[in-house]
């Protein structure tokens, strides 16, 4: 079996600011969308992608 890509990864993290700093500054990803987690309205659901927000990034 050959794996051609990865659709998404989900992880629960601590403070949103630290999450944004890590994924944005360290990994160089761009925040492309922010919503409220429907299962826990006190928690953000942050979506990251590459600089062009390309699908699968």
Note the pLDDT tens digit of each residue in 12-45: 888 889 999 999 999 898 998 899 988 888 888 8
- Cα–Cα distance list, 18 to 13, 15, 52, 53, 54 (Å): 9, 6, 23, 21, 24
Q: Is 41 helix (H, G, I), strand (E, B) or coil?
A: coil
Query: Where is pLDDT greater, at 9 or 44?
Result: 44
The residue extents of the domains of the chain are 1-57
pLDDT at 56: 62
pLDDT at 57: 59
Note the pLDDT tens digit of each residue in 43-56: 888 888 887 877 66
């Amino acid at each position: 079996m050959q794996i051609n890509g990865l659709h998404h990864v989900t992880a629960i993290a601590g403070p949103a600011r630290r999450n944004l700093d890590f994924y944005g500054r360290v990994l160089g990803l761009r925040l492309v969308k922010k919503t409220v987690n429907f299962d826990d309205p006190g928690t953000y659901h942050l979506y990251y992608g590459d600089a062009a927000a390309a699908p699968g990034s």
